[in-house]
Chain A
Amino acid sequence: GAGVSQSPSNKVTEKGKDVELRCDPISGHTALYWYRQSLGQGLEFLIYFQGNSAPDKSGLPSDRFSAERTGGSVSTLTIQRTQQEDSAVYLCASSLQVADTQYFGPGTRLTVL
């Protein structure tokens, strides 16, 4: 069946612009996770959703980052006023329930010029 999909696959933006990254989880998966993969920091947890609520936002690096999930399905990660240090690959994962195996999408490569 279809896996986790993310769009766009690549995004190049100018410093100061806002960007939206989208994640479509596997159908029926109630838990959704966002991670960031960067050269300097490795793979970092950002936020996760159980249904539409986000019990843990501890990994969001600043208040420029926000995420929402509506209808228990698609999620959007928004970065406002992007900075060069935001350049990274943003990964989304989903699992049937929290504590089940997480399946990762291909990621969105964000480059901030």
Chain B
Amino acid sequence: GDSVTQMEGPVTLSEEAFLTINCTYTATGYPSLFWYVQYPGEGLQLLLKATKADDKGSNKGFEATYRKETTSFHLEKGSVQVSDSAVYFCALSVRDDKIIFGKGTRLHILP
């Protein structure tokens, strides 16, 4: 079945470090891919998305490129801030209804 695998956390980085959170997927069709973020005490929010191969989603300095050949959608940010501390979920949607989530990666940014 369709699934998402993302790197386990927690990931701890210093402020201004480069961030990569790996995500790979398995899907029977042509999925849309997402990164969601859950800040402490807040609800789940869409961070970025890409709907077809080679699309790059970007928001708040975060980027992810839809790589069909490697079935990946890695999240990157060039210089993280303390305020980026949160749980990040990679996700996919094949039929554009239900979203299938990875297990989440907790990110801690140290000042």
Chain B interface extent, by class? 10 to 19
Closest A residue to B103 using CB positions: A42
A90 at the B interface (CB under 8 A): no
Given A42-B102, A42-B103, A43-B104, A48–B97 Cβ distance below 8 Å? yes
Contact status of A43 and B98, CB under 8 A, knowing A91-B44, A101-B46: no
Interface set of A (CB-CB < 8 Å, partner B):
3-4, 31, 33, 35, 42-45, 48, 55-56, 59, 91, 93, 98-99, 101-107
CB distance from A98 to the nearest CB of B (A): 5
Residues of chain A lying within 8 A (CB to CB) of residue B93: 99
CB of B89 within 8 A of chain A?
A: yes
Residue positions of B touching A, CB distance < 8 A: 42-46, 49, 89, 93, 96-104
Whether the pair A33, B98 counts as a contact (CB closer than 8 A) is yes
Is the Cβ of A107 less than 8 Å from the Cβ of B43? yes
Taking a contact as CB atoms closer than 8 A, the residue among A42, A56, A104 that contacts B44 in the complex is A104
- Nearest-CB residue, chain A, relative to B102: A42
Quote the shortest CB–CB distance from B42 to chain A (angstroms).
8
Determine whether the beta carbon of B104 is less than 8 Å from that of A42. yes
Residues of B close to A31: CB separation below 8 A: 97
